Amino acid sequence: MDKSVPTVAGPVFVQNPDGSLFQGNPPCYEERTPPGTPRAHVFDATQLQSSDIVRVLARHEGLFLLLLLVQLIVEIFFEYMHIKYKDDATFELSLIYPSVAHWVLVEFYWMAFVGECVYCCLYFGLGVLAAFKGKPKLYHRFSAVALIGTLGQLPLAYLNRFNLLVFFLRFISYAYARFQWNLLQGIGLLREEFL
């Protein structure tokens, strides 16, 4: 009886007594190339600006603008109050500083008012520009101006113009601008990393 041994065209798998598998390949056997990856293209850095990141940035810019709006309303209200009651304020200053002439106190009071107005124009202009442009450098400049304004509130206590609410709003604006600056810097670094 002639029994022929069947030929095997592919690999043979044999189970060892310990349960592991062993692959045996016939001579001249070549593995087929595996199928391609399901990704149609290589990573694109523009995908980093997904809708989630844009939405988060837009929300933070909106909150920053809302903070600036609240602060603008507070600043206008308090400057109006300072002008409305300037005579009472200068009278109180003349009681605190009796050796200084009244006209000098009035001049200092008006210089403080003009300085606050100039500062507010720069402050709010730079803040709105930073929010609309969304550049880290502008947020950094705004945070420096906000810190100067925050610390600049302290000497105004000598003219009875110190306002705790304005002080804290400027400090919060400073902190939020630093947060925005760090956020945009981080996104910029991620973008550069994948380019």
Q: Is the pLDDT of residue 85 over 60?
A: yes
Supply the pLDDT for residue 142.
95
| Position 179 confidence tier, pLDDT thresholds 50, 70, 90 | very high
Supply the pLDDT for residue 40.
58
Model confidence pTM above 0.85: no
Q: Measuring CA to CA, which residue among 148, 117, 146 is closest to residue 130?
A: 146
| Position 73 confidence tier, pLDDT thresholds 50, 70, 90 | very high
Q: Is the pLDDT of residue 57 over 90?
A: no
Cβ–Cβ < 8 Å for 127, 141: no
Supply the pLDDT for residue 195.
46
Supply the pLDDT for residue 53.
76
Between vectors from CA 178 to CA 174 and to CA 181, what angle results, nearest 5°?
140
Q: Is the pLDDT of residue 151 over 70?
A: yes
Residue 135 φ/ψ, nearest 5 degrees? -100, 135
Supply the pLDDT for residue 164.
86
Supply the pLDDT for residue 8.
65
- Token pair for residue 36? 């391609």
Supply the pLDDT for residue 30.
81
4-8, 12-16, 73-77: the lowest-pLDDT one: 4-8
How far apart are alpha carbons 162 and 28 in whole angstroms?
Answer: 90
Q: What is the mean pLDDT of residues 11-39?
A: 80
Cβ–Cβ < 8 Å for 44, 50: no
Cβ–Cβ < 8 Å for 146, 174: yes
Residue partners of 165: CB distance under 8 A and separation at least 6: 74, 78
Supply the pLDDT for residue 31.
80
How far apart are alpha carbons 178 and 172 in whole angstroms?
Answer: 10
- pLDDT tens for 108-140 read 889 989 999 999 999 999 999 999 998 889 999
For residues 172-190, b (16+ Cβ closer than 10 Å) or e, as one string?
ebbebbbebbebbeebeee
